[in-house]
Structure 1
Amino acid sequence: MTGRVMVLGGLLVLAVAIVVAVLVARSPGPGDRPAPAVRHTPGQIGEVTERRLDERRMELTIESAALEATTRVRLLLPKGWSRDAGRTWPVLWLLHGGLDSYTSWTARTDVDRLTRDTGVIVVMPDGGRCGSYSDWWNDGEGGAPRWAGYHLKELLPLLESRYRAGGRRAIAGYSMGGQGAMLYAAEGHFQAAASFSGAVDILQEGVPQAVMAGTTVGCFGTDWKRIWGDPDAQRDIWRAHNPYDQAGRLKGVRLYVASGTAEFWEDPAEHLAGKAGKAFAARLEELGIAVQTHFYRGRHDHAHWQRELHRAYPMLMRAIGAR
């Protein structure tokens, strides 16, 4: 009996590590590792270089003060886009999840084709290894990486000042990116937000333990407490980064929440995402905040996230006046 318990316990730890490797971690792809530290006054952005990959795709390399590193963002530009145009375009941000990067949306979904005939700038920023779309706590010292600071205080103004991005914005993300989408929308920067298999309740039963077990495995020894601290001792910080606890700040935002309902033994990541999505949607409804939902039998993969983007896309575009 004791042996069976030990085996089951070992399998559970392994499953938890897999869950967080998907939900909150990412491994760098070729050319995707941040460069050595770049120091500028906080709030300022350093050198920006750009490269046109094709008719629509543009890749920016940015020296970020918030990250104290060089990072990249991929853009899909609409037909007729010009830096000298006498107009701006509405914007769709797409956030990636664990084990992925800023290239994943274009590499693993049909987002290029989906958005080709829509007058919208698509923004796909890097979210960092275990970045969690958060400014890291770092034992109370703050400092880099400040992923939220980079995205909202550096990248967003840069897009508006140099790339004709307008003030009407929608945001969507999968897995870790679903958490980021809802957190950024709660800050008041987006008119619509969608989460696909998102980490939208990081304090639900089992998830803090998954973070503890998996961040070290998925992020090559990173101390998991650097992100938000201890879930008990720094409970307020965890709540500040938990979409479930921030749900009341989403009033007035058009919302879409989707996830699969796999059993734990089928897909542990999607099992937790499904529980989180249902709890988050219930919290929104309890607060009288409208939300469109889709819970389905499915797994934690890009095929389902592409499908959910298609389902959410008309609502996201209406919210920002894109057509």
Structure 2
Amino acid sequence: MRSLLSRRFRATRAVTAATAVLALASVTGQVAHADTPAVPEFDDGFGLSQVTEDREVHSSTDFSITVTTPEVAGQHKIRIFLPSDYASEPGKRWPVTYFLHGGPGNPDEAGTVEALRSDQMITVAPDGGRKGWYADWLMQDTAEGAANWETFHLEQVVPLIDANLRTIPDRGQRAVVGLSMGGFGSMHYAQTRPDLFGHVASMSGGIDFGNYAVRGAVVATELNLTTAWCAVSSSRGCADYGPVVDSDAIFGSPYPVFNADHIWRSVNPAASANLAKLADTGITLYTGDNDLVENHTADGVDIVTSRLDKLGIPSRAVNYGDGSSLSPTCNGGHNYGCWAPAFADYIPRLEAAFAAEETK
């Protein structure tokens, strides 16, 4: 961490920037100006190092940092949305929602979901890779290199955010939400770390690894078979999932022979043993059922809610079918035309849940 003197300099610099033109050359040779919106400075830590020249500032409440870590090869963006009153209320702390994109998406896809720009919470959208599947990969020597995505997010990104922003570091004030691949990730993370997340939502998530079509979709991303499961996180059509890796690279063998698929079963969000870990968690599931992919995500929602009911764990499930009941932009398919209005329905409910937790 930087010294107290460094922190005081940083605070002085921020005040000066608000009132006069600055010509402070950074180590990268870049120059800051008074018309650049002021955003919070971040200290490195928890194994993360910033790539300062790749910071992006869209506004005073919308910016990205880029980090490197030994846990995941390459550079990784983390996009952050702050409440509009974040700077003007320096004594206030805020709930945090983590948005997990689908594959082969990226953190900037959070910018297409207007509801995530909430004045009641901080939203953090970390990179999850084109096919990271929010997991610590079984194989670390593939063309993708180091791929400990779960460790990156849960043991590095979350504490980095808590250390650098005015969060409320409590599970009741922290949510994880995701779509498609990120829908698996949100459920998996909530089950793996119920101490971190008190709320979870999955939009069209691959949440039942007992469904072999879902396993096949994961394998298709490993092999970059773009025709197998198109438009997984956007409406762009079939996209590039990156270098081909072994079909066993992430979760091991998908075949249920001689216990070969034991990793798939251990991380399956639909497994009753994993669902039992959500006993004290707010659970929301959305899906359509109007294309090949959504037919499978709808089956997953049915299985998960049935098992939750048997466990006596409440949940809220929304199957909007062909989308006509949700929004004119939604055709019931696997796309942001449905996910954006689904988030518009969900986020006010999450804000209310955060507010209820705060009054306890």
TM-score (normalizing by structure 2) = 0.70
| Residues 29-84 of structure 1 deviation map (CA, whole Å, 9 limit, x = unaligned) | xxxxxxxxxxxxx9622235343221311101111222143211100011232499
Counterpart of 1:222 in structure 2 is: 245
SS in 1 for 2:299: helix
Counterpart of 1:251 in structure 2 is: 279
**Alpha-carbon distance in structure 2 between the residues aligned to 1:91 and 1:129:** 24
Counterpart of 1:30 in structure 2 is: none
Counterpart of 1:275 in structure 2 is: 299
RMSD over aligned CA atoms reads 2.5
Alpha-carbon deviation of 1:100?
Answer: 1.5
SS in 1 for 2:318: strand
**Alpha-carbon distance in structure 2 between the residues aligned to 1:210 and 1:92:** 27
Q: How does 1:116-265 map to 2 (within 5 A)?
A: 118-138=119-139, 144-167=146-169, 168-186=173-191, 187-188=193-194, 189-216=196-223, 217-218=225-226, 219=241, 220-231=243-254, 232=256, 233-245=259-271, 246-262=274-290
Matched pairs, number: 273
Q: How does 1:1-20 map to 2 (within 5 A)?
A: none
**Structure 2 unaligned regions, length at least 5:** 1-44, 227-240, 322-331
Tell me the percent identity: 29
- Asked whether the equivalents of residues 171 and 185 of structure 1 are also in contact (C-alpha less than 8 Å), the reply is yes
Aligned amino acid, residue 115 of structure 2: V
SS in 1 for 2:106: coil
Q: Decide which structure has the larger Cα Rg and report it.
A: 2
| Residues 142-176 of structure 1 deviation map (CA, whole Å, 9 limit, x = unaligned) | x8211111111101000011122222211211111
SS in 2 for 1:206: helix
SS in 2 for 1:63: strand
* Corresponding residue to 2:315 among 281, 291, 295: 291
TM-score (normalizing by structure 1) = 0.78
Structure 1 residue runs of 4 or more that deviate by more than 4 Å after TM superposition: none
- Asked whether the equivalents of residues 255 and 291 of structure 1 are also in contact (C-alpha less than 8 Å), the reply is yes
| Residues 221-260 of structure 1 deviation map (CA, whole Å, 9 limit, x = unaligned) | 2222110000234422112321112211111101111101
- Asked whether the equivalents of residues 202 and 285 of structure 2 are also in contact (C-alpha less than 8 Å), the reply is yes
Aligned amino acid, residue 229 of structure 1: G
1:286/1:222 Cα in 2 relative to 1: closer, same or farther (>3 Å)?
Answer: same
Name the structure with the higher strand share.
1
**Alpha-carbon distance in structure 2 between the residues aligned to 1:215 and 1:146:** 15
Alpha-carbon deviation of 1:125?
Answer: 0.9
| Residues 159-214 of structure 1 deviation map (CA, whole Å, 9 limit, x = unaligned) | 01112222221121111111111111111111111111011102214322333345
**Alpha-carbon distance in structure 2 between the residues aligned to 1:86 and 1:123:** 20
- Asked whether the equivalents of residues 229 and 237 of structure 1 are also in contact (C-alpha less than 8 Å), the reply is yes
**Structure 1 unaligned regions, length at least 5:** 1-41
